[in-house]
């Protein structure tokens, strides 16, 4: 059983940056693909980014490519999402998720590929 806790959300102006953290406990996540998803008010939860166990095969949604960077520190059992050049449309609750392994990162772009989820952290971008 893996427990995930996100932090780092907040209110930021458009063009600013935030770094989200996701700390895992209960088991190591070093062998798992990890992902970030987000859900804006009135919308379905959507994929943001995923990172492979060795960090060498990452995948981003087109809406964040070039602005967001996913990374991980397996020694700390932690995954990060650095968000830069934030836009008002990035406003959402951001969720961390733990998936499996043995597939390319493009496999982990849908919710059903993930077994464990955090409760989310709110990110609000003002214009």
- Alpha helix stretches (DSSP H) within the chain: none
Q: 100: buried, middle or exposed (CB in 10 Å: 19+, 13-18, 0-12)?
A: middle
Please report the pLDDT score of residue 119 as a whole number.
98
Q: 4: buried, middle or exposed (CB in 10 Å: 19+, 13-18, 0-12)?
A: buried
Residue pLDDT tens, the chain, 127 long: 999 999 999 999 999 999 999 999 999 999 999 999 999 999 999 999 999 988 778 999 999 999 999 999 999 999 999 999 999 999 999 999 999 888 888 899 999 999 999 999 999 999 9
Separation CA 71–CA 81 (nearest Å): 7
User: Beta strand 18-25 with 59-60: parallel, antiparallel or unpaired?
Assistant: unpaired
Please report the pLDDT score of residue 104 as a whole number.
83
Please report the pLDDT score of residue 24 as a whole number.
98
Please report the pLDDT score of residue 36 as a whole number.
98
Contacting residues for 97 by C-beta, under 8 A, at least 6 apart: 4, 34, 35, 36, 37, 111, 114, 116, 117, 118
Please report the pLDDT score of residue 94 as a whole number.
98
């Amino acid at each position: 059983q893996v427990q995930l806790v996100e932090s780092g959300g907040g209110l930021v102006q458009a063009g600013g940056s935030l770094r989200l953290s996701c700390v895992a406990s209960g088991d190591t996540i070093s062998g798992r693909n990890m992902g970030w998803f987000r859900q804006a008010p009135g919308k379905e939860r959507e994929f943001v980014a995923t990172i492979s166990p060795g960090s060498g095969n990452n995948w981003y949604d087109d809406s964040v490519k070039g602005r967001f960077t996913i990374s991980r520190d397996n020694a700390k059992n932690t995954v990060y999402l650095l968000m830069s050049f934030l836009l008002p449309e990035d406003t959402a609750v951001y969720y961390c998720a733990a998936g499996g392994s043995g597939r390319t990162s493009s496999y982990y772009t849908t919710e059903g590929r993930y077994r464990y989820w955090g409760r989310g952290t709110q990110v609000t971008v003002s214009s």
